[in-house]
């Protein structure tokens, strides 16, 4: 069974987190969420229950565990997802252990997915120049270091990026297709009942 880790922090964008999480679960992906505390922090993982993440619009989500480099690596999961939301994305992109885990997933040819301001982590992790997208509000911080595109979803080898809450569904469905295949994408998409002219 494919597995995915979705990071969450205070200020994470709710739609980008929940739509991605829900879509992956519908596809049969073992999906786990991990709370990233602001750095530096005393939250280093272990057996302690994670705190509740207060998201960008006030929704409170209880993550499955605290983020810890030793238990969140590419030896455990096939995909890591970094959602946006300005505050949450800043916390994740500036966290040294998040930067390191991204590098490890890339090196192991595992999938790394970023949406909205979450794409800033591609820069702070020092990823190679390649096609990428993000929320327009952070374009200026990325377009000098990457081949910036404005497509809803951009796939560059094992890096997948997307633009914002409105592209969360095609983003999540693309992750399903990359993990399991186009048939599974079509299978779970149909019961979601998108309008007939939906372009993804």
Catalytic residue among 14, 55, 72, 135: 135
13 is catalytic: no
Q: Which of 13, 72, 90, 116 is catalytic?
A: 116
Among residues 13, 14, 16, 90, the one annotated as catalytic is 16
Quote the crossing angle between the two packed helices 14-26 and 168-179, to the nearest 10°: 30
**β-pairing, 111-115 with 159-162?**
parallel
The 3-state secondary structure of the chain reads CCEEEEEECCCCCHHHHHHHHHHHHHCCCEEEEEECCCCCCCCCCCCCCCCCEECCCCCEECCCEECCHHHCCCCCCCEEEECCCHHHHHHHHHCHHHHHHHHHHHHCCCEEEEEHHHHHHHHHCCCCCCEECCCHHHHHHCCCCCEECCCCEEEECCEEEECCHHHHHHHHHHHHHHHCCHHHHHHHHHHHCCCCCCCC
Judge contact between 175 and 22, C-beta under 8 A: no
Judge whether 16 counts as a catalytic residue.
Answer: yes
Q: Which residues are catalytic?
A: 16, 116, 135
């Amino acid at each position: 069974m494919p597995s995915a880790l979705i990071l969450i922090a205070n200020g994470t964008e709710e739609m980008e987190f929940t739509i991605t999480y829900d879509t992956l679960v519908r596809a049969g992906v073992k999906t786990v969420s991990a709370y990233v505390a602001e750095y530096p922090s005393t939250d280093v993982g272990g057996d302690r229950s994670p705190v509740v993440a207060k998201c960008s619009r006030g929704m409170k989500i209880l993550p499955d565990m605290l983020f810890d480099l030793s238990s969140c690596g590419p030896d455990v999961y096939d995909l890591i997802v970094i959602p946006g939301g300005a505050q949450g994305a800043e916390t994740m992109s500036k966290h040294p252990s998040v930067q390191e885990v991204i590098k490890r997933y890339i090196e192991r040819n595992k999938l790394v997915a970023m949406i909205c301001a979450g794409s800033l982590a591609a820069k702070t992790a020092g990823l190679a120049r390649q096609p990428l997208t993000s929320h327009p509000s952070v374009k200026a911080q990325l377009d000098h270091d990457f081949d910036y595109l404005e497509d809803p979803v951009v796939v560059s080898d094992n890096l997948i990026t997307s633009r914002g809450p409105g592209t969360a569904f095609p983003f999540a469905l693309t992750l399903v297709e990359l993990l399991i295949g186009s048939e599974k994408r079509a299978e779970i998409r149909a019961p979601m009942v998108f309008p007939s002219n939906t372009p993804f």
